[in-house]
Structure 1
């Protein structure tokens, strides 16, 4: 009964996103700006890419959520990230942080800590290597990619959730989500995500939309990751090559239903 009730709540996040059309300000990397904008539209959100230092404080005020992605972190983006997070804290706007390559580039760790100190972080979504690095555990990374086998990832997620007092999601062959107490392990997904650029960035944007539409960030993050994985599975059924898979992924995100989330989600709850 518990699983049925919680899956009803997870699937309801999708309906809330499409009902509320959350405005998500994405300060993201230059490689995936267009991807993040389009997948947010397909999901039911409203994308904005406002990152100008002189505008971002005021724009976050009117946003439903803020998504910060450190993928191509310029000095200008760094200052905008910090200022945007301050505005989010003042104006009670949820923040999703994607700590891209934090294990490979030490400067990014200091930026994350600065955002945590003066702003807010509601969700950290990263790959296994990034999350393990934030937990102070040795991890195997190559640039923005994790080469880690996932051993000890749940413990790392719990550590980071307690450290930053937020929901943490580590993506990989299995996806782990925790608020430090509750745990969800998602077993959906496809390997093809690793063959296209920006799958993680797009997922971060979806987490932003879910956070902007639903109060419970543990459930909203679980719903966003499950949605991406189910869309990926459906896309791969129709498109076995990376280029066509990317196109079908957008279509399948758009076509998602509550029914599919409830019936096809493979989630272990702890």
Structure 2
């Protein structure tokens, strides 16, 4: 797995995959910048009349339901349908699905019309989707992660997809294989957008690696290692500096560095 992580990161840098993002306006700039730093090319195309034509050009699609407008909803459904027809991976971030019932209606429509390659959410969101009790405060998870690997496997098996749950320890599973990624920093919780950025990196990795379990693990390990490196430079009480350092760390990150520093457990 360690060698695979380095290989995925190298392929992202070499191929510069075009990742279309239909994402929330709170973090749209951070998502675009983290993709550039990772070696991908972001495209924030979310107009209903453009997404189906644009699907032919993309390498992957990232859909984030954070601040979902009516236009975004229709664009996301059309984009996901067309991306699936063209064999492009679709990564879904079901933000606040456990707190807002409208989000579940949109998720159901996406699952009906498209093939979701990866679902990436926080602990509370994933547990809610899996039918477990997930604790949410608005869009943030306050769940301690009890039974999280089991919930992730249940959801992955039910939807035949890869599931990524972010938390103190990230969980990645395709229902058969499960790993825990222990890299990260508490400063992720002190800024907006760390989860959105992680989801975008998953989409970039999925664009170059057909083994979506390996791709998702590589992206989460890269995000976690970059966060640790940024925190070391920024210090524990400077979230604003950490945010800037995070972009720098992802930009300078190599597959070899991630392979050396990653802490991954297969369970």
Asked if Structure 1 and Structure 2 have the same fold, meaning a TM-score greater than 0.5 normalized by the shorter chain, the answer is yes
Q: Which residue of 2 aligns with 1:264?
A: 261
Q: Shift of residue 256 of structure 1? A: 0.8
Write out aligned runs for 1:1-270 (5 A).
6-240=1-235, 241-270=238-267
Q: Shift of residue 60 of structure 1? A: 1.5
Q: Distance in 2 between matches of 1:130 and 1:197?
A: 17
Unaligned runs of 5+ in 1: 1-5
The secondary structure found in structure 2 opposite 1:26 is strand
Q: Runs of at least 4 residues of structure 1 off by over 2 A?
A: none
The secondary structure found in structure 2 opposite 1:189 is coil
The secondary structure found in structure 2 opposite 1:215 is coil
Q: Which residue of 2 aligns with 1:3?
A: none
1:34-93 CA distance string (max 9 Å, x none): 101101000000000000000001112210000000000111111111000100111000
TM-score of the superposed pair, with normalisation by structure 2 = 0.98
TM-score of the superposed pair, with normalisation by structure 1 = 0.97
Q: Distance in 1 between matches of 2:218 and 2:192?
A: 22
1:241-263 CA distance string (max 9 Å, x none): 01100000000001111211111
Q: Distance in 2 between matches of 1:215 and 1:224?
A: 14
Q: Shift of residue 122 of structure 1? A: 0.2
Aligned residues: 265
The secondary structure found in structure 2 opposite 1:260 is helix
The secondary structure found in structure 2 opposite 1:61 is coil
The secondary structure found in structure 2 opposite 1:185 is strand
Q: Distance in 2 between matches of 1:192 and 1:11?
A: 25
Q: Distance in 1 between matches of 2:167 and 2:118?
A: 17
1:112-140 CA distance string (max 9 Å, x none): 11101111200000000000000111111
